[in-house]
């Protein structure tokens, strides 16, 4: 059996136009331009001791003065969510989420909980019962 032969692609004669260069005037009027992270996070101050697995729960509805990111966090955190999940859902880096959560913790809009730690090892009698049940099958 012979392997399939690869065919070489020949470039077309049409040369695509280069992408437009960004203007030096700025993107304030462009609705698609993303905000800089330091604008979203605000001034870098003290941060709460938050880990990636710390669970965040909303304690209040978003106030009118909340930023769009804080409002989104409060709406997501009606059920406990980890900081890693918040970071992924909002497409924000962990450091930015930490700064935003610190502000919300001081305003008492959210509550931080330690992750649920499960027992290190399951009960031996339970494992033996499962093993015997599987052997009977």
* Minimum mean pLDDT range among 3-17, 31-45, 55-69: 31-45
Measured in residues, the chain has a length of: 137
The pair of three-digit structure tokens given for residue 95, joined into one six-digit string:
């450091």
pLDDT score for 56: 92
More confident residue, 74 or 37: 74
Q: What is the mean pLDDT of residues 5-31?
A: 59
Contact indicator for 112, 105 with CB cutoff of 8 Å: yes
- Of 62, 52, 75, which Cα lies nearest the Cα of 103? 62
Q: How confident is the model at residue 87 (pLDDT cuts 50, 70, 90)?
A: very high
Contact indicator for 80, 135 with CB cutoff of 8 Å: no
Max CA distance (Å), the chain: 75
What is the radius of gyration, based on Cα positions, of the chain? 26
More confident residue, 113 or 1: 113
Q: How confident is the model at residue 100 (pLDDT cuts 50, 70, 90)?
A: confident
Q: How confident is the model at residue 95 (pLDDT cuts 50, 70, 90)?
A: confident
Give phi and psi for 71, each to the nearest 5: -60, -45
* Beta strand residue intervals within 9-126, DSSP E: 55-58, 81-82, 110-113
DSSP letter for 12, please.
P
Task: Work out the mean pLDDT of the chain and round it to a whole number.
Answer: 77
Contact indicator for 58, 109 with CB cutoff of 8 Å: yes
**CA 63: distance to chain centroid?**
22
Query: Would the pTM count as exceeding 0.75?
Result: no
Residue with tokens 């966090």: 73
DSSP letter for 77, please.
T
């Amino acid at each position: 059996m012979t392997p399939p032969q690869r065919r070489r692609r020949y470039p077309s004669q049409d040369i695509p136009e280069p992408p437009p260069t960004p203007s030096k005037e700025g993107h304030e009027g462009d609705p698609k331009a993303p905000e800089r992270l330091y604008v979203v996070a605000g001034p870098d101050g003290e941060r709460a001791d938050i880990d990636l697995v710390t669970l965040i729960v909303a304690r209040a509805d978003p106030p009118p003065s909340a930023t769009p990111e804080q409002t989104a966090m409060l709406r997501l955190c009606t059920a406990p969510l980890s900081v890693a999940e918040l970071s992924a859902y909002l497409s924000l880096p962990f450091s930015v989420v930490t700064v935003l959560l610190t502000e919300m913790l001081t305003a008492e809009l959210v509550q931080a909980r330690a992750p649920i730690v499960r027992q290190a090892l399951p009960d031996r009698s339970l494992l033996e019962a499962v093993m015997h049940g599987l052997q009977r099958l």
